[in-house]
Every structure is written in structure tokens, then in C-alpha cells.
Amino acid sequence: MFSQALAHSHSSSNTLVSILTPVIKDLSLISATTAVGLLFAIAFFIEEKKGFLTQESFRVKRLLQLSMLIWVITLVGSIFIELANILDEGLLSAFNATVLRSFLQQTVIGRVFLAQLIFSLAATFISYRSRKVGAVYWALAITLFATILPIFQSHSSGLSNHTLAIGSLVFHVIFITLWVGGVIGLIVISPKERAASLSRFSSFALWAAVIVTFSGAVNAYSRLNFLSAWSSPYSSLVLLKIVLTGLLIAFGAKHRSYIIAKKPTETFSLLSVEIVVMVLTVGVGGWLSTLNPPEHPGVPSQPPAPNLSRLFWSYSPDALFLGILILATSLYIRGVVLLSRRGDKWPMGRTVAFIFGVAFADYATSGGIGIYASYAFSYHMISHMIIGMIAPIGFVLSAPLTLALRTLPIGRTENERGIRGSVITLIHSKVLNFYTNPIVVLAIFDGSLFLLYMTPLFSAMMHSHTGHLIMDIHFLLSGYLFFHVIIGVDPNPRKVPHIVRIIILFAAMSIHAFFSISLLSTSSLLDGGYFASLHRTWNTDLLVDQHLGGSIGWAMGEIPILLALVATFIQWVRDDSREAKRIDRAAERADAMGEDDELSEYNRYLAQLRGHDREIGQ
């Protein structure tokens, strides 16, 4: 029934449904954006006291709870409106329990709506119960995640260059939501907090404006044929949104001039006008999401058989992962520049290591290997090894946490932890203490291989771009966590002895070899028919290709672990050398002051024990 209904247009014959569709959509977007802004204000604008919310925060929380309630109600309404549109019947037809259950369980769009509703309820609950800033951070992250969920089943996912369309739209939605929400947050907080936060938000708004403009341009390019599509209603809305975004950037520039001139009255007046333009921008964005682009490019052709030239020089951007890498690189460079301006030096080797990590991660996802990883298991395994075992080494050795702690802003008062204090609290939290346990790290790093490849999970993830993205992020994060514990130079909540690190490395090597042997021994395909459905004309023996992937995983997986083993031995020797020098310096100080050093005290203690033993023996 749904497969036939989904072929229909979303325009309903029912007038009420047609009217309610954009209204509910825009109301949901505005309430979610308001919730993000209020959470953003509580987390970063309003002063907290050693991690706890203040009275001003609880005042804003009352408005937050109202916006969350409206968001949840409009999400429920959106489910019924969307179902009525799909059925192409009146609104009452969507209230059939059986039909509604089938919609939520059996269709992609229904499952997305259900997931979005669940996450919104979770964020609402956390916001209501929150007493600490840490809980507000979690609520903000969950709310942002819920706002981008529909993107993965939107019109962009049907485009031939869907990776570019989806990735750019995710960044566009996240940062325009934070930008618009941040302005809403500034308006509702007290004048004192607003004056203290304007400069901080101005810096963030500049970053957001650049990202929103660039990602919007990329998304428009991925959706439209620039030669013939600009006369359509869809492109007219795109142009209107571009104009509104330009106005917002102009407002931001004017804000900075008022902040520099210390004119708070003019700033607040401009904020009032700016919020109207922002609401219009969000409304246009919601309207766009209900329309189909005027043209859909054709289905992309299969890449030709791989060769060295294509593997090294082909490039097809995975916009979402590439955007993450670009943002991380921008923040890293900003940190290094801030240190340089202060007169502090940042080791060049760490910057080179970061570039190394970014380059390999990008090559494994958007380069030649990343392209062919979607068409053959063997290349998928090469991509997995690069992004999970080679790129993380570069990121770990670049010490991003240390750079962040040296450049992030501190609290405005003694009682406020600020962003840097929150990061320090996270580093020493029980959660991170658990995840940096060597046994847990080993289970995540190697145990997840069996969970992914030896279960139907691999088939489910290979059939969607979202699944590919989740796998890539998991590989990178699990690899980073593993090598952070083994050879990391950043702060670690627990001190892992070098002998334990070596044991973990040998265990990882053994488990990885066992996993590769398991792949070589398989007699059936693990992908659930995904690679067969591609009908590729090269490397057609899928089982042989799967066995090749096992061999590649074994060979490529051992080399990074061996390098980490060598690095661990070097670190062990250096630590022993530093400890010996420390003991020598302590002995010199004690000798200069006429006192016993640690070694002398220890020898005297042993002598006392021997004397005590002799007395007992007598």
C-alpha cells in the first residue's frame, strides 16, 4: 500500500492538509530553532557557578520548556500531516491506528519521524531535569541531531551527487540553526549577560556565516542545473534565501562595529530587526524542504575498473566527512595562530602529524580509495584500515586536546568554568575514565570488527549513505581512542603502565589476525547482496574479492600496531630516562641541603627491616 502511495505527489487534495503542511513545518522548525538558541544561551552565554546553573538560567529554562513542548506537539502533528499527504486523503484518515503503526514501522520517512520524536522527548526530559551545564550540553547535542535527521531522507538523498547534497545541507542546517538560535538566546537573556556575551557570540557568528554561505552555495549547486532551472519557483526561493542570508551577514558586520564602539542600545535594536529576518530565513528553508528541486540529475555511472592512476587521482567529495575535516583543520590552525600571537611555540611535528591525519582520512573517504570502497569489499577494507588505523595515529600525535586547553577561553569569573573548564571536567569524568580503560578500548577497537562484519549489521549499513558515514566515523573514533591510550600525548584520565600498553598491543594484533583469518575462511558473502546489486563489470568474483579484503586487512592492520609497539618502547625508555634524571636532581638537592635523598632513605628503610628480621630470628 505504501509503495503505491509514495509514488504520488505530496500535494494533497484536501485543502486543510495543504494549508497545514507548510504551517506545521515552519512552526516545528521555529520552535526547534528557539529551543537550540535557548540551550545555546544557557550553555555559553549565561554565567554558571562551578558547573551549576544560576537563577538566570532557570528563568530561561521556563521559556525553553515551552519551546520544547511546542516542538514535540508539532512533530506529532507533522506525522499525521505527512501520513495524510502520502495517503492523499483527508486528515482523519491518518488517525487509523493500524495505518499509523505501519507508517512508523515500515517506511523510511515514518521511522525518521519516530526517531526525531524520540530524540526530541529525550532532549526535553534532559532539559527539564538539568541542574548542571554538562546536561545542557547533552540536550543541545541531542536537539541538533534531531533537527538534521530528516535531511537523510529528504529530496537531497535522491540526487545523483547525494553525498555532496546531504553533507552540505547538514552543515547548512546545523550552523544556521545555531546562528539564528543564538540571536534568539541573546534577546531573552538579561541585559547584563547580553553585554558580556555579545563579543563571544560575534566571533561565533562570523564562523557560522561563512559556513552557512558556503554550504548553501554548494547545496544549491548540487540540486540545480544552473543553465535552465533558475526560472522555477524552487530556485526563486533559493535566491530569496541567498538575499536574506546576505542581510544577516550585513547585520553581523554592523553588530561588530557596535560592539567595538560599545553601543549596547543600538546593538539590541539591531537584534530585534535581525531576528525578524532570521525567522523569515528559517521559514523559507522550511518551505524549500517541502518542494522537489526542478531537475534531478541522472543516476551516476559506475566507475571504470580501478588502476593506479584512478586510485591516486580520482576525487569525489563526501561532503559531510570532508566538512568535518575542514572544520577541524580550521579550528586547529586557529589554535596554532592564537598561540603564535601570544608568543608561545607549538611543535611543528604536531602540526605535520595533524596534516598527515587529515590527508589520509580524506583520501580514505573522498579520494580514489573512498570512491571504490563503495563498489568492492577489498577497497572497502583498504579504506577501513586507513581511516581506522593510519589516520588516527596522525590525529593522536597532533595533540588536539592539549592545543584546545591552551587556547579555549576561560570563565569570565572565578566561579565560571568556561569552555576550557568544561573540557577539563570531561577529561577527568567517570565516563571518560571508563572508556580509556585498556580492556574497554581493546573491546571497542577489535571487538566491533566482529560485531560489524560477522552480523547483518554490515549489510544494513552498506545499503545507505548514512550507514557508510556511521562506519567511517566509528572507525576513526575507535582508532583515535585506541592509539590515544597507547601512544597519546594528550591528557589521559588514567595512567596506563607501559607494560600494560604492550600487552594490549599484542592482544590487538592477535585478535586482528584472528578476524582476518575468519574473513579468509568465509564461504558466503557478508554484504547481504549489496555488492551483487551493483552489477559491476570488473572483479566480478565477489567471494574472492571478500577473501582479498581479509588478506588486506591482515597485512595493513599489523603494520600500524607494530609502529605503535615501537613507539611505546621508545616512550618507555624516555620515561625511565626522565625518572632517572628526576631522582638525580632530587639527590643533588638533598646533598646540597645536607639531607638524605630518596635512595638513601629507601636503603635505610631496608636496613631497618633486616635488623628487625635478625631480632626476630634471635
Domain residue ranges of the chain, discontinuous segments joined by +: 1-153, 158-294, 346-565
Work out the pLDDT band at 73, boundaries 50, 70, 90: very high
Give the SS3 label for residue 325. Answer: helix
User: Confidence class of residue 440 from pLDDT cuts 50, 70 and 90?
Assistant: very high
Q: What is the largest CA-CA distance in the chain?
A: 107
Mean pLDDT of 211-238: 67
Write down the pLDDT at residue 248.
66
**What pLDDT, on a 0 to 100 scale, did the predictor assign at position 181?**
86
| Average of per-residue pLDDT across 589-603 | 55
Alpha helices in 448-497 (DSSP H): 448-453, 457-462, 465-487
Pick the more confident residue, 296 or 310. Answer: 310
How remote is the C-alpha of 79 from its chain's centroid? Answer: 27
- CA-nearest of 391, 368, 392, 389 to 516 is 389
- Grid cell digits, residue 10: 505530496
Q: What is the mean pLDDT of the chain?
A: 79
- 611 vs 461, residue with greater confidence: 461
Whether 489 shows a pLDDT value over 60: the answer reads: yes
Predicted pLDDT of residue 266: 52
Q: What is the pLDDT of residues 101-115, one digit of tens each?
A: 888 888 888 888 899
CA 119 from centre of chain: 16
If you write DSSP's letter for every residue of 274-304 in order, what string do you get?
Answer: HHHHHHHHHHHHHHHHTS--S--PPPPPPPP
User: Per residue in 547-560, pLDDT tens?
Assistant: 998 898 888 888 88
> Does the pLDDT of residue 5 top 50, yes or no?
no
Q: Which amino acid is it at 405?
A: L
Q: What is the reported pLDDT for 363?
A: 93
Percent of all residues in the chain with a pLDDT value above 90, rounded to a whole number: 20
Q: Report whether 465 contacts 108 (CB < 8 A).
A: no
Q: Could you tell me the three cell numbers for 322?
A: 570532508
What are the tens digits of pLDDT across the range 384-437? 999 999 999 999 999 999 999 888 887 776 777 778 888 888 888 888 888 889
Question: Which has more pLDDT, 392 or 267?
Answer: 392
Dist CA 549 CA 452 (whole Å)? 15
Residue whose entry in the numeric block shows the C-alpha cell 572508556: 435
Rounded to an integer, what distance in angstroms lies between the CA atom of residue 359 and that of residue 319?
Answer: 15
Q: Which three cell numbers stand for residue 283?
A: 521559514
Q: Is there a contact between 496 and 478 (Cβ–Cβ < 8 Å)?
A: no
If 0-12 CB within 10 Å is exposed, 13-18 middle and 19+ buried, where does residue 311 land?
middle
Residues 497-547: tens digit of each pLDDT:
888 888 998 998 889 889 989 888 888 888 888 888 888 888 888 899 899
pLDDT tens profile 14-54: 677 777 777 888 788 889 999 999 999 898 888 888 778 88
**pLDDT of 356:** 94
Mean pLDDT, residues 65-71 taken together: 93
Q: Is the pLDDT of residue 3 over 70?
A: no
pTM over 0.85: no
The pLDDT tens digits for 114-169 are 999 999 999 999 988 888 888 899 999 999 999 988 887 754 444 456 677 788 88
Q: How many CB atoms lie within 10 A of CB 157?
A: 17
- 278 vs 88, more confident: 88
What is the SS3 assignment for 106? Answer: helix
| Whole-angstrom distance, CA of residue 47 vs CA of residue 524 | 59
How many other β-carbons are positioned within 10 Å of the β-carbon of residue 273? Answer: 11
Residues of the chain with pLDDT > 70, as a percent, come to 75
C-beta separation of 322 from 366 below 8 A = yes
Instruction: Give the mean model confidence (pLDDT) for residues 170-181.
Output: 86
303 pLDDT band, cuts 50/70/90, is: confident
Of the listed ranges 121-125, 157-161, 193-197, 205-209, the one predicted with least confidence: 157-161
